[in-house]
């Protein structure tokens, strides 16, 4: 396989399709070859369909030959997270309580990608119902980080991040209900953006977490994320929460820079404690923002720690999932998920309401905060990626202290946020910089991400990834 082809951005691939120097069939075959070579090592896929991918690539190739591409992503290989419905493929939700029954419909995001001509390679792994910030479970085992195979790529869009970093596909579709795009992007050294809540229509949008979750792009370049967001944000009447459609091209003004912006830097957001080496790399990243012309001010915690305010909300959400699973199948669940979900059964309406009041107060705090600041930047995560087998929500990988202190706040407020790679720690694992804007201002997140990317470009293929995956894989 050609390493050059598998690491091309979607933007580069489309240019090559246009001038006929590459075909969608060549690209899809290279992506599938790479998938086959890396999958035994990273275990990033829940479902793979070579036949349908190649059939779609042949149809795309015919359209390009005829000078009539179907849409803006025609022929681009894409992966889809297992939690997102894709017609004709199983929707396992990362859980052994589900089965191989083909899904009867496409989620809005998948439908838009299909209409744009994307080629689906497979469904990527997720922990059970997306419950945690690393990716493993009884259904499929452990998904591993291609930078260092002993480590997790993060979660819950862990398979999406691992495959993207390993050169499998040009675009990945993930979703983020507490950091599930940004956490694995930070741990795995790729770019990931959580759009504003409602920007990308979703269906079915139901359950206790339905107003915190957003689907979005995971890519190896900011321009690709903007290109993908153009399609994902198109309207779908099945989502009554969806924002009014904004038909802008999210690539417009991408290179405008950040000169004169007021940026707040909060390395201790919500009382978070950060590993010193991670802090040092993020400090350097913030210095680059200053070089780019931004005015940066280090601010304090901004708001109170999340755990006391939102533990009941978290547990109650898991309990709502548990109630929808037949009791006869409860023994098939991840034991740690089941334990937390059963604890959630005792959360009272008054406790849940207290969390909703706290959520509203957090939203007001951040709305007022962005009256002063164009952007808030933080580390994406307090540490680098943990060992894959580390028990989640344990002393060594505590949810509130180690996984979500920087990401979850902006699921609660709905604001757009992204993780951009900002260097490697001495253990040779990636560190991410999180950029957050006021509600509805994905344009600011994308512009700042692009400015930083241009100042500190991520080069693919990464020698450390190639070394970890082995020659030819």
pLDDT score at 252: 98
| 101 phi/psi in degrees, rounded to 5 | -60, 125
Query: Each residue of 53-85: pLDDT tens digit?
Result: 999 999 999 999 999 999 999 999 999 999 999
Q: Any idea what DSSP says for residue 210?
A: T
Quick one: average pLDDT of 117-133? 98
Quick one: average pLDDT of 244-256? 98
Quick one: average pLDDT of 338-345? 98
| 311 phi/psi in degrees, rounded to 5 | -60, -45
Are 375 and 264 contacting, i.e. CB atoms less than 8 angstroms apart? yes
Q: What percent of the chain has pLDDT over 70?
A: 99
- Which of 51, 45, 63, 193 has the alpha carbon at shortest distance from 116? 63
**Peptide bond before residue 156 is cis, with ω within 30 degrees of 0:** yes
Beta bridge partners of 145: 148
* Strand positions, DSSP E, 204-362: 214-219, 262-265, 295-298
Confidence at 319, pLDDT banded by 50, 70, 90:
very high
Confidence at 139, pLDDT banded by 50, 70, 90:
very high
Q: Please determine, for residue 121, whether its predicted confidence score (pLDDT) is greater than 90.
A: yes
Q: Please determine, for residue 1, whether its predicted confidence score (pLDDT) is greater than 80.
A: no
Are 135 and 386 contacting, i.e. CB atoms less than 8 angstroms apart? no
Count of C-beta atoms within a 10 Å radius of residue 251: 18
What residues act catalytically?
Answer: 81, 156, 180
Quick one: average pLDDT of 44-52? 98
- Which of 416, 419, 453 has the alpha carbon at shortest distance from 437? 416
Q: Please determine, for residue 473, whether its predicted confidence score (pLDDT) is greater than 70.
A: no
pLDDT score at 2: 75
Tokens describing residue 342: 């059963």
Q: Please determine, for residue 369, whether its predicted confidence score (pLDDT) is greater than 80.
A: yes
Confidence at 169, pLDDT banded by 50, 70, 90:
very high
Q: Please determine, for residue 39, whether its predicted confidence score (pLDDT) is greater than 60.
A: yes
pLDDT score at 472: 45
- In the chain, the number of structural domains is 1
| Per-residue CA distances from 130 to 155, 181, 348, 453 (Å) | 8, 11, 23, 29
Are 169 and 460 contacting, i.e. CB atoms less than 8 angstroms apart? no
Tracing tokens 């009256």 back to the chain, one arrives at 371
Give the span between the Cα atoms of 162 and 165, in whole angstroms.
5
Tokens describing residue 468: 């970890």
Sign of CA dihedral 190, 195, 199, 203: positive
Quick one: average pLDDT of 33-44? 98
Are 406 and 275 contacting, i.e. CB atoms less than 8 angstroms apart? no
pTM score: 0.98
Structural domain span for residue 135: 3-469
Tracing tokens 């493993």 back to the chain, one arrives at 136
Q: What is the CATH number of the domain that holds 152?
A: 3.90.1300.10
Give the span between the Cα atoms of 412 and 235, in whole angstroms.
23
Query: Each residue of 85-114: pLDDT tens digit?
Result: 999 999 999 999 999 999 999 999 999 999
Give the span between the Cα atoms of 98 and 101, in whole angstroms.
8
pLDDT score at 3: 84
Three-class DSSP category at 347:
coil
Quick one: average pLDDT of 440-468? 97
């Amino acid at each position: 396989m050609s390493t050059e082809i598998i690491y091309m951005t979607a933007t580069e691939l489309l240019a090559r399709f246009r001038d006929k120097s590459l075909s969608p069939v060549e690209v899809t075959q290279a992506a599938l070859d790479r998938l086959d070579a890396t999958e035994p090592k990273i275990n990033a896929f829940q479902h793979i369909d070579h036949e349908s991918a190649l059939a779609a690539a042949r149809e795309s190739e015919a359209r390009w030959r005829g000078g009539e591409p179907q849409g803006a992503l025609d022929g681009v290989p894409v992966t889809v997270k297992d939690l997102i419905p894709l017609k004709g493929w199983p929707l396992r939700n990362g859980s052994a309580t589900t089965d191989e029954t083909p899904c009867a419909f496409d989620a809005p995001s998948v439908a838009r990608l299909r209409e744009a001509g994307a080629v689906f390679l497979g469904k990527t792994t997720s922990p059970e119902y997306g419950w945690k910030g690393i990716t493993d479970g009884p259904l499929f085992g452990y998904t591993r980080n291609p930078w260092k195979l002993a480590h997790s790529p993060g979660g819950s869009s862990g398979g999406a991040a691992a495959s993207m970093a390993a050169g499998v596909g040009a675009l990945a579709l993930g979703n983020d209900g507490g950091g599930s795009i940004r956490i694995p992007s930070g741990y795995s050294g790729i770019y990931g953006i959580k759009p504003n809540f409602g920007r990308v229509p979703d269906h079915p949008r139901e359950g206790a977490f339905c107003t915190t979750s957003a689907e979005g792009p995971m890519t190896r370049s900011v321009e690709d994320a903007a290109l993908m967001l153009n399609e994902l944000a198109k309207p779908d009447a099945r989502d009554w929460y969806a924002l009014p459609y904004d038909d802008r091209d999210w690539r417009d003004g991408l290179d405008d820079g950040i000169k004169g912006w007021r940026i707040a830097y909060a390395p201790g957001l919500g009382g978070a404690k950060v590993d010193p080496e991670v802090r040092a790399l993020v400090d350097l990243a913030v210095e680059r923002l200053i070089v780019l012309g931004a005015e940066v001010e280090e601010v304090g915690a901004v708001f109170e720690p999340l755990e006391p305010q939102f533990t009941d909300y978290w547990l109650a959400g898991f309990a709502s999932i548990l109630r929808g699973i037949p009791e006869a199948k409860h023994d098939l669940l991840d034991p740690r998920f089941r334990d937390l979900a059963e604890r959630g059964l005792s959360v009272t309406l008054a406790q849940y309401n207290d969390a909703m009041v706290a959520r509203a107060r957090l939203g007001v705090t951040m709305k007022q905060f962005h009256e002063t600041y164009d952007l808030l930047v933080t580390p994406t995560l307090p540490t680098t990626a943990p060992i894959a087998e580390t028990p989640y929500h344990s002393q060594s990988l505590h949810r509130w202290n180690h996984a979500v202190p920087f990401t979850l706040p902006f699921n609660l407020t709905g604001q757009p946020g992204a993780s951009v790679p900002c260097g490697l720690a001495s253990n040779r694992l990636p560190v991410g910089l999180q950029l957050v804007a006021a509600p509805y201002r994905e344009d600011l997140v994308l512009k700042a991400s692009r400015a930083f990317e241009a100042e500190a470009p991520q080069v693919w293929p990464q020698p450390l990834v190639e070394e970890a995956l082995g020659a030819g894989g």
